[in-house]
């Protein structure tokens, strides 16, 4: 029995090692397709007109120290939203094409990461999650983990 378990484990590890290039290509292609879809959605009718409202609504309810960041973007997108939306859409299409075709991979990986962080910084999720973490820390609840919170919530629902 000892021999059989020793031979199974290296085979599984070897499969990943043998197929690392196709796996990386698969992941790169999937991410490229996601960027292509996201870029194409920027060119939908009415998106450019609604974009300034999206940015403005993302800034509502944020802490006062974040208001200058959101007001800057709300002001920037109000002047000519179509130019900003179409520039963003074009960048996303180019990023997606480069990922799918495998063109300038390292530059595209780094550029895609920076661009993703930039978009995430303007979106509501980033600042809300940061705000929630800061609030938990300053309220003394920094030891409560989200996993234990979800577990306690499930237990509470079962007891009702």
* Per-residue pLDDT tens over the stretch 25-53: 999 999 999 999 989 988 988 888 888 88
Q: How confident is residue 20, by pLDDT bands cut at 50, 70 and 90?
A: confident
* pTM recorded for the entire structure: 0.63
The span from the CA of 75 to the CA of 48, in Å, is 15
> Average pLDDT for residues 97-118, to the nearest whole number?
89
């Amino acid at each position: 029995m000892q021999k059989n378990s020793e031979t199974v484990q290296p085979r599984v590890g070897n499969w990943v090692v043998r197929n690392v290039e196709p796996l990386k290509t698969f992941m790169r292609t999937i991410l490229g397709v996601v960027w292509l879809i996201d870029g194409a959605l920027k060119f939908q009718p009415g998106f450019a007109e609604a974009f300034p409202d999206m940015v403005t609504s993302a800034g509502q309810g944020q802490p006062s120290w974040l208001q200058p960041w959101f007001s800057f973007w709300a002001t920037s997108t109000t002047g000519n939203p179509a130019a900003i939306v179409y520039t963003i859409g074009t960048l996303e299409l180019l990023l997606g094409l480069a990922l799918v075709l495998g063109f300038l991979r390292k530059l595209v990986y780094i550029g895609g990461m920076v661009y993703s962080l930039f978009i995430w910084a303007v979106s509501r999720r980033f600042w809300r999650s940061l705000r929630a973490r800061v609030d938990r820390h300053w309220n003394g609840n920094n030891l409560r983990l989200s996993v234990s919170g979800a577990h306690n919530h499930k237990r509470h629902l079962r007891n009702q």
